[in-house]
Each structure stands twice: as structure tokens, then as C-alpha cells.
Structure 1
Amino acid sequence: MTGSTTSTLTIGQAVETLLRDGMPVRFRAYDGSVAGPPDAELGLELRTPRGLSYLLTAPGDLGMARAYVSGDLVVHGVHPGAPYAVMRLLQNHLRFRKPTPGELVTLVRGLGLGHLKPPPPPPQEHLPRWRRAVEGLRHSLTRDAEVISHHYDVSNAFYRHVLGPSMAYTCAVYPDADASLEEAQAEKFDLVCRKLDLRPGQRLLDVGCGWGGMVRHAAREYGVKALGVTLSREQASWAKEAIDRDGLGDLAEVRHSDYREVLETDFDAVSSIGLLEHVGVRNYPAYFSFLRERLRPEGRLLNHCITRHDNAVTETGAFIDRYVFPDGELTGSGTIIATAQDAGLEVVHEENLRRHYAMTLRDWCANLVEHWDECVAEVGEGTARVWGLYMAGSRLGFERNEIQLHQVLAVRTGEDGSDGLPLRPTW
């Protein structure tokens, strides 16, 4: 970099200064400056000074998300409901280098000190962790209810557009590469039923039941009496209507409740599909102990959740924590299995469905693109942008093996060691 520390610096020059290998897409800023190849198919446009302030005051994914969600940073060449292609290109080729102290001073002065005053974040952003801590103990009943409502009580119509008729907001299981999303979601629920060996007349508890897909599938296809619980009022309302519409009221029930408030015991099976991500790693022992106590001897538990590729405990990144899953934590399948065993459960099988979740997210993004206008009308463009960004980024995470999806099957073994299992898996 040349010039005095008081000279004006264009945004395009600043970008080129900090990149090791050059900008892989065409970049254009509101000051008229550009960077990157002029013939690139994909492009980024920084439209406003506020967008620059977001990028400078919250470096990394949070600043980018704020600028993108607010419409100050626009992606060209991809649909806002599925920015996967540009995110993949940037992750593969966008490498920043650390500036020297002198260069940093030049950058800040050249771009203008006024940009270092943080603008108010977009309205879709949740409180930071320290503010949530002030307002309630992490993973208390009250705080968990609040953060679940933040994500799930958006709009049932919006979720219907994105998730499809199944209203299943968890990893699907694709029986083959050409299977539709609906076929894959039905296969997921059926796989869980088969692993739990559900039979007519048995009792199933589904914790974190969402819109009741597992509850209704188990009742309809296997004749079990199924109870589901969810912290989302919108989910519970939708699920109750679906149960009545399907004529399953004598077998299926969904409650607006925390799973820790379920008093019944002696269930033949417990399914937990996408709940553990919200529990908190420190609460795993209490979680597995509680579910074990809900089971009869020889009863089975199927836990289905997102995991890390290793067993480190990692809080979600700033974007995910503020915009998608407040208070979310992930760790590896080894930690989950060990904690289940320490709680007195016998783990009998585990399976990694990582690639299936990447395919699921691909199909959700396609639904968001197809129904973009309806989704924007339902929740606003900013929230729709959040979902496109989060699902495309998550798809990349699963494809790159940064995150995984594990199903862990366990049994409450009887005092005499009986487990009720066949010699070989039947599913």
C-alpha cells in the first residue's frame, strides 16, 4: 500500500489490500470502486455506508450477515433464497491476510473514522449472549421457551413453504439420490419407527416434536399411542389441527410443554429428533437420565441430532446464535454416547447421516426460492434473507464435514440384563 495515512482510500482498494489471492468475485461499492475480475459470473455489491459500518464494527460472519440481511450487501448471480454458489466460492477462495499495524491505521483513516460507530442491528437479530444471561439462566424453562419461540414461532405458513407438506424441520433420509424431499422425510420417520421397533398398542413419547410429524407417522403407520411435546405454541397449534384432520385424535396428542414437564412413565419408546441441539452440553446427563426414567425396562430411545465432527464443545457462531438458534451448542457423537451410557442406557447402534442433511438443506433452499414472494409476504425480506443465508451456509458445513447428523439408539436394559433386542438389527 502506498500513500500517506491521511489520504482517502476507496473501498475496492481496501478489499484488495487485505486479500491474499485477490477477490474471486466481482466486487462493487457505493463509492464507485471495484475489485475482482470484471467477467466474474458472481458478484457482491456494497450499497450503503451503513453496510460498510456493519463490516468494520463486527468483522466476520456477524458483520456480513447484518449487511446482507439489511439489504446493504447484495449478491449478484444467485437468488437470495439460495446464496450457496457464492458462499461456496468465497469459502474456497476468499483468504484475508492480517494487516500490519500501520496498514490497519491507513485502512481505518482512509475509509473514515465515522464508520467505526456501530449502526443498530437489523430487527431480526436476537440479543447477544451476555444480555440473555442478564435476563435469565441459560437453559432454564423460561429462557428455553423464549429462544425456541424466537426461531419457531415465525409463521406456520412460512415453514410450510420452506419445509413442504411434511412440515419436518429435521434431517431427512434419502433412500436414493433421486428421492424427493417428501419421500425422504417419510423415510426418516419410518426409520426411527423401525429402530424403535414400534408395534400397535405401544406408547411413544416424542420430545421436541415440532409440528407432530413423528407423532402422526407413528400413530398412523404403526398404531401406537403417541405423545409429543414442543415449546413452540405455533407448532403445537398446527400439530393439533393436523391430528384432528388426519382422524388420529384417539392415538396422537401434542402438548405445548417443556419435555421436562412430562410426568408419565413406562413408555415403550422415546424419540428425540432435533432437540438435543437446544439442551446444552452441560445438561446432557440430566437430559438422558430424565428420558431413561420415562422408559419401561427394555424400552428404547432414539436420539437424532446435529453434532460436531469431533468432541469439542462449541457454541454456535455469532450469526447462528443471534439470528437462528440462540443458546445453541454442539459437540460430537462420542460425547453423546458416553453421556447416555453414564446415565444407565445401553447404546446399541449409531449412524451418521451427514450427507443426507446437506441434501435436505439443498431441497429446503429450493423450496424457499420457489416460494420466495410468498415467504417475503409472510415474514418480510430480511427474515427470508436470514433463512437463505443460514440454510446455504449449513449445507456447506455438512458437505465439508464440519458438522454431522447422528442417530443414536439406546435401550433401558432390565435389571437381569434383558434388552428385548433381536440378535441382529431388523430395520
Structure 2
Amino acid sequence: MGWAGVFERILGDDLSIEIRAFDGSRAGTAGADVCVEVRSPLALSHLAAAPGELGLARAYVSGALEVHGDMYTALAAFPTVTLNDIPPELRRELAFKLAGYRFWWPVRVPEVEHRSSRGWRHSKRRDSQSISYHYDVSNRFYEYVLGPSMAYTCAVYPEQDATLEQAQFTKHDLVARKLDLKKGQRLLDVGCGWGGMVMHAAEHYGVRALGVTLSRQQAQWAQKAIAERGLADLAEVRHMDYRDVRESGFDAVSSIGLTEHIGVKQLPHYFSFLQDKLVAGGRMLNHCITRPHGHQKAKPGKFIGRYVFPDGELEPVGTLVSAMNDHGFEVRHEENLREHYALTLRDWCRNLERNWKAAVAEAGLARARVWRLYMAACRLGFERNNVQLHQVLGVKLDGVDARMPLRPAF
């Protein structure tokens, strides 16, 4: 049997994609729109050395495995991959073939894979290292992927055919309306990214907004954008840990895409700290990716943990609501936007493909391949309800007064 046949037996029968291998063998569905090319025995070596998604990811990132056609379509055709389910005779066959090519152990790990950060998990030092690994790739690379809005969080699509920029504007405006922002108020945006929410609040609501991020490159880009848009009298972005913010008396706090980096053990301090920053009657909007239920581990899969979000953790929305409720907030509204995140990722994938050559030139082929793989996989995850995106609105009570209308306008 050729290498294509071995790969097909590992992935499963009745694949809707074509498989081609370096030895000329073919398997799967001939003439399919998507073709997976096994370019070297190293592809199988990676899968043997790291069973499952990590091995496949290493094979693809290193170039030993190629996907011709749409990555999302290819991933949708793959079943869950694990060597534990491979019959013993196939494992022996794989080992024999690899031994013949002298490609079994060890297998070189792609250089872009994250090595363990130093320090205690979710300490300030380690969080800074983890954030820098993902977000300090290149501002220009992110411009190619995210588009003009430079918003790296779930957008909100007012209609199915809305553009990404319209959807990101709608997301920022939805957050502003949930927080009931008004001219002259003060907003703290933690994990502010490239400053999208900060600038939206300042420009469209006349709010004095402070954003903080652990990414130096994000802060530099945001500070420049704020100056160019003439918002320096209202908006500010600092390169700092949210835990180091000294100011208080804010009317509102927004956290859009930060909680995934906090860690479940840090949630009590996180919500208590942000509650303490608010005036009585102030509101907090927490927007983050969550698990669909509490039976899954908080830590992500090995590919996401090694190549995308080191030390990231996802909790079910019930854990977040309980933590907010137990640490100073009355929860007043919650909604799941997972379908919107699938659409957002669809549009980011399109941007990356449209700007592929420039993105590779800017960040390198291996890094670009990581982004192509992870964004397509995440799109599939939101569509299949493997992950969700929740917005939770809480209020710091003024005595017993929530200062909320009988029915919310948003």
C-alpha cells in the first residue's frame, strides 16, 4: 500500500477529499475540490510522534503536509484523529515504513511553536510573555488579516450579508449601548487590543476612554491611530497589565476578548478588581469565548495551546456568570453570539487568502500557515458548537438600585 493509502486509513474511510503522496499513490475522492498532499514521510512521523491534532498541525506548519484548496473544507472532512484508535497492525505497518525512511524519532518541531513560558501560570511576567507571543507578530500582518477595523474579536452582523467592517462597528456600538455610555463619562477597556473600542467610545459617544494591553505593538499602533484621528484629548491606550491600573471612578468597564487569558483561578480577583474600579451604578460588559458546557477542560487543545494562545483557558458561561455574581456584580443580561464568530472567522480567512503573499512576506510562511489552520478550525468549532461567544452585562449596584430601565434599549 502507498503512503496515500496509509494516510487515508489513519484519517478514516469515505473521505470527501483527495489524498496524494510523494510516492505517486492516491486515495480518497479523486478529483475533489480539496487535495491533501503528503509531501514527505515526515508528515506521518509528526503524526506518530504527536498523535492527533498536534501531529497534523506540525506536519502542515512544517510543510511536510500541504492542503490544496480551501482549508475550512478540508478540515470539515476530517474526523477526530487519534492514533489510539488505529489497529495494532496498521501501527506496526506505519512504524515499519517510517523506519525504512529513517524518519521516526525524534522529529524536529517547527520553530514557531511556543516553548514554555517562565514563571507561575498567569503571573504578570508569564502573561506578558504569552500575550507577546501571539499579538506581537506584526501589526502589518494583522492589518492583512483583520482589515481596517483592526478588531480581533467577534463581530456582530446586523444582516447576513453585512461586511466585516460593518459588523465590527455594530459590535463596538452594541457594547457602548449595553454600557449606556454618555458624553463626559469615563470608560476603562481592559485587553483593548488595537484600541477599537476606546476610539469608538471617544468618537461616537464623547467618552473619555482608557485602554490597556500587554502587547507593546498593539499599544504603539493604537496610540498612533488615536493621534491620527484627532482623539488624543479623549482616548488613551497604555502598554500595561490591567492589574496595574491605578485610576478608579470609571462609569463603565469593557472587557472584549481578555477573559480567555485570565485563567479560572484568577476570575475572583479579576471581577473584584474591575468592580472596584467602577462608580456605584457603573456597568461592566464581559465579552469572551466560552465552553458550551462544564464537562470540558478549561485548557485548549494542544495545537491552540502550542501555536496560538499559550496558557489560554476557556470556561463555560455559567462559571463566568457565577464569578461575576459572587464578586460584586448583579448580572442583568447575557447573550450567545457564536454564529457571529463563525462569520467573523470566515471573513478573516478570506482576508488572509486575499493577502497571502504579503502576509507570508511579513510574518513568514510557517506563521501564516498557523493562522490559516487555526482560523479555519475555529470557524468550524463555532459552527459545530464546540465553542461559544458570550456577552455578559453586570452592574455594580448603588445600594439596591441598578440604575437600569425596565426594559433595555439595546
Match of 1:244 among 227, 243, 249: 227
Q: 1:58 to 1:95 in 2, by over 3 A?
A: closer
Equivalenced residues, count? 408
Q: 1:275 to 1:19 in 2, by over 3 A?
A: closer
Structure 2 distance, partners of 1:124, 1:43, is 25
Q: 1:32 to 1:270 in 2, by over 3 A?
A: same
Match of 1:112 among 82, 94, 99: 99
Contact 1:10 1:111 in 2 (8 A): no
Structure 1 distance, partners of 2:324, 2:158, is 28
Contact 1:11 1:111 in 2 (8 A): no
Structure 1 distance, partners of 2:9, 2:275, is 57
Deviations 1:40-59 (A, max 9, x none): 23211111132221121111
For residues 274-313 of structure 1, what are the structure 2 equivalents within 5 Å? Answer: 274-312=257-295, 313=297
Match of 1:26 among 13, 18, 38: 18
Structure 2 distance, partners of 1:297, 1:29, is 65
Deviations 1:381-421 (A, max 9, x none): 1111111111100000000111110000000012x301111
* Cα offset, 1:102, TM superposition: 4.2
Q: State the match for 1:125 in structure 2.
A: 113
SS at match of 1:178: coil
SS at match of 2:78: helix
For residues 76-115 of structure 1, what are the structure 2 equivalents within 5 Å? Answer: 76-78=68-70, 83-91=71-79, 98-112=85-99, 114-115=102-103
Contact 1:19 1:96 in 2 (8 A): no
Q: State the match for 2:139 in structure 1.
A: 156
* Cα offset, 1:356, TM superposition: 0.4
Structure 1 distance, partners of 2:271, 2:17, is 47
- What amino acid maps onto 1:104 in structure 2? R
Contact 1:55 1:67 in 2 (8 A): yes
- Whether 1:172 aligns to 2:133 is no
SS at match of 1:118: coil
Contact 1:26 1:38 in 2 (8 A): yes
Contact 1:20 1:97 in 2 (8 A): no
Structure 2 distance, partners of 1:99, 1:213, is 48
> TM (normalized to structure 2)?
0.96
- What amino acid maps onto 2:75 in structure 1? M
- What amino acid maps onto 1:172 in structure 2? A
Question: More deviation in 306-315 or 268-277?
Answer: 306-315
Q: 1:321 to 1:97 in 2, by over 3 A?
A: closer
For residues 195-206 of structure 1, what are the structure 2 equivalents within 5 Å? Answer: 195-206=178-189
- What amino acid maps onto 1:169 in structure 2? Y
Q: 1:366 to 1:253 in 2, by over 3 A?
A: same
Structure 2 distance, partners of 1:97, 1:24, is 23
* Cα offset, 1:311, TM superposition: 2.3
Match of 1:328 among 312, 326, 329: 312
* Cα offset, 1:126, TM superposition: 0.4
Structure 1 distance, partners of 2:209, 2:53, is 41
Q: State the match for 2:350 in structure 1.
A: 366
Q: State the match for 1:410 in structure 2.
A: 394
- Whether 1:380 aligns to 2:360 is no
- What amino acid maps onto 1:329 in structure 2? E
Q: State the match for 2:171 in structure 1.
A: 188
Contact 2:155 2:170 in 1 (8 A): yes
Contact 1:124 1:382 in 2 (8 A): yes
Q: 1:180 to 1:167 in 2, by over 3 A?
A: same
For residues 248-263 of structure 1, what are the structure 2 equivalents within 5 Å? Answer: 248-263=231-246
- Whether 1:69 aligns to 2:61 is yes
Aligned Cα RMSD in Å?
1.7
Structure 2 distance, partners of 1:407, 1:397, is 18
Match of 1:228 among 195, 202, 211: 211
Structure 2 distance, partners of 1:107, 1:61, is 18
Q: State the match for 2:194 in structure 1.
A: 211
- Whether 1:49 aligns to 2:41 is yes
Structure 1 distance, partners of 2:353, 2:239, is 31
Q: Which runs of 5+ in 1 are unaligned?
A: 1-8
Contact 1:173 1:184 in 2 (8 A): yes
- What amino acid maps onto 1:326 in structure 2? P
Q: State the match for 1:340 in structure 2.
A: 324
Q: 1:20 to 1:149 in 2, by over 3 A?
A: closer
SS at match of 1:350: strand
Q: State the match for 1:40 in structure 2.
A: 32
Match of 1:15 among 7, 10, 13: 7
Contact 1:206 1:228 in 2 (8 A): yes
Deviations 1:101-140 (A, max 9, x none): 344323322442733203221111101xxx43xx210000
Structure 1 distance, partners of 2:382, 2:282, is 32
Q: Which runs of 5+ in 2 are unaligned?
A: none
Contact 1:20 1:96 in 2 (8 A): no
Contact 1:51 1:67 in 2 (8 A): yes
Q: 1:426 to 1:331 in 2, by over 3 A?
A: same
Structure 1 distance, partners of 2:9, 2:260, is 39
Structure 2 distance, partners of 1:377, 1:107, is 36
* Cα offset, 1:20, TM superposition: 4.7
Structure 2 distance, partners of 1:167, 1:38, is 40
- What amino acid maps onto 1:65 in structure 2? A
Structure 1 distance, partners of 2:89, 2:146, is 50
* Cα offset, 1:12, TM superposition: 3.0
Contact 1:271 1:301 in 2 (8 A): yes
Deviations 1:250-290 (A, max 9, x none): 11111000000001111100000000000011111111011
**Overall identity of the aligned pairs, in %:** 56
